[in-house]
């Protein structure tokens, strides 16, 4: 089947998202976010997220079907994020997908959230990218992956040892009183700041680190350094702090990503995940990849954050590649490893 019609369900965190694709053409991308309900807590509250998914899942499916101008009976397969993510949130999506696929008599693919983030690139670029290095940066994940086949062969080269990049953005934004989510807030204010104003540390970039963990990330030290600076500098300039903090994260992400491309001999880089929408990361990535002769692909900002389109895209690629669907009922896995593309 060259252009399967696939409905994708994503509920790993605080977005109830439904996407519908035909082959590599996006027909619908509906997102119901509960971010405002979490804002007063400065981060996602799992129980609130789960309840929001329960309320939004059916209306979101109905809205996506209407937007795509199809009938549920028209779809060829259902795909759903099986992990990783918040277990309660994941279970809402998995249970809904199981019921929908069973009721329609359609095959069901339980897929990996991280692989889906990379797969969304196939909706905007037709030229194959395999093999490629993928830099996946979001609120819960910061990983470097070698993708030889997006449907079956992904190797984790490195990952964060503590805070993910997006998590660090959220925490510093909260300390600075900029609100939640922190990534967009810091990105906005940083544009009027001086990125060289404060020399914040670059985690895991010392000589010994390159020898022992060249593709791993650590942002907890940076977070602590910024917090200490704010504590001892009562008259700090918010824009300069934001720009310097952001620059440290972007610098480390690109140093590691370029190093992975160079070491593997793979001259293709895909950057995905919510932090991929950051304007400074996109600009630095363009500059450094061009200098290194590396082909760079980044989804549009709207497809960087969690969405159903990416799940549907991976489901479509699974169907096209002839991969077997997930058999029988299955549970969500909050710690599903990226090497397991599907259940």
Domains of the chain by residue range: 5-121+304-320, 130-298
What mean pLDDT comes out for the span 240-247? 98
Nearest to 307 by CA among 31, 81, 28: 31
Structure tokens at 152: 């079956």
Which residue reads 């967009």 in tokens? 184
Domain 5-121+304-320 sits in CATH at 3.30.420.40
255 pLDDT more than 80 = yes
Going through 204-339 in order, the beta strands assigned E by DSSP cover: 268-272, 295-297
Burial of 317 (0-12, 13-18, 19+ CB in 10 A): buried
Residue-wise pLDDT for 80-112, tens only, equals: 999 999 999 999 999 999 999 999 999 999 999
Euclidean distance between CA atoms 134 and 319, whole angstroms? 22
Mean pLDDT of 155-182: 94
The candidate with the shortest Cα–Cα distance to 85, out of 120, 110, 59, 102, is 110
Q: What is the pLDDT of residue 138?
A: 87
Give the tens place of pLDDT for each residue, 62-78.
999 999 999 999 999 99
Instruction: Report the distance separating Cα 214 and Cα 245, nearest Å.
Output: 21
**What b/e string do you get for 81-91 counting C-beta neighbours within 10 Å, with b at 16 or more?**
bbbbbbbbbbb
How far apart, in whole angstroms, are the C-alpha atoms of residue 47 and residue 237?
36
What is the C-alpha separation between 138 and 34, in angstroms, rounded? 17
Task: Name 20's bridge partners.
Answer: 7, 28
In a 13 Å sphere around the CA of 143, the CA atoms on its Cβ side amount to 22
Of the candidate CATH numbers 3.30.420.40, 3.40.50.300, 3.40.50.1220, 1.25.60.10, the domain formed by 130-298 belongs to: 3.30.420.40
Does 313 or 127 have the greater pLDDT score?
Answer: 313
pTM: 0.94
Phi-psi region of 308 (alpha: psi -120 to 50; beta: other; left: phi over 0): alpha
The two structure tokens encoding residue 338? 């990226």
Neighbours of 47 (CB within 10 A): 10
236 vs 124, higher pLDDT:
236
């Amino acid at each position: 089947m060259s252009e399967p019609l696939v409905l994708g369900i994503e509920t790993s965190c605080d977005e109830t998202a439904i996407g519908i694709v035909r082959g590599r053409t996006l027909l619908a991308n509906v997102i119901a976010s509960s971010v405002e309900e979490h804002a007063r807590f400065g981060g996602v509250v799992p129980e609130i997220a789960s309840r929001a998914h329960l309320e939004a899942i059916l209306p979101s499916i109905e809205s996506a079907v209407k937007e795509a101008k199809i009938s549920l009976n028209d779809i060829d397969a259902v795909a759903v994020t099986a992990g990783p993510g918040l277990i309660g949130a994941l279970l809402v999506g998995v249970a809904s997908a199981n019921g929908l696929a069973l009721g329609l008599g359609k095959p069901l693919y339980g897929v990996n959230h991280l692989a889906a983030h990379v797969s969304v690139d196939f909706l905007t670029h037709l030229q194959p990218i395999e093999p490629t290095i993928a830099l996946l940066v979001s609120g819960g994940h910061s990983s470097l992956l070698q993708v030889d086949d997006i449907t079956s062969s992904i190797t984790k080269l490195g990952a964060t040892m503590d805070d993910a990049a997006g998590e660090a953005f959220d925490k510093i934004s909260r300390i600075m009183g900029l609100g939640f989510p922190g990534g967009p807030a810091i990105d906005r204010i940083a544009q009027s700041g001086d990125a060289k104003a404060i020399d914040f540390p670059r985690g895991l970039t010392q000589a010994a680190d390159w020898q022992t963990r060249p593709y791993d990330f650590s942002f907890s030290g940076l977070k602590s350094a910024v917090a200490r600076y704010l504590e001892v500098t009562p008259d700090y300039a918010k824009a300069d702090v934001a720009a310097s903090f952001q620059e440290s994260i972007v610098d480390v992400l690109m140093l590691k990503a370029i190093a992975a491309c160079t070491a593997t001999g793979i001259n293709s880089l895909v950057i995905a995940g919510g932090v991929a929408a950051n304007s400074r990361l996109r600009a630095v990535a363009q500059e450094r990849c061009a200098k290194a002769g590396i082909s760079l692909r980044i989804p549009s900002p709207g497809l960087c954050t969690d969405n159903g389109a990416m799940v549907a895209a991976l489901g479509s690629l699974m169907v096209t590649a002839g991969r077997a669907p997930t058999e029988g009922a299955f549970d969500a896995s909050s710690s599903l490893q990226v090497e397991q593309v599907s259940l």
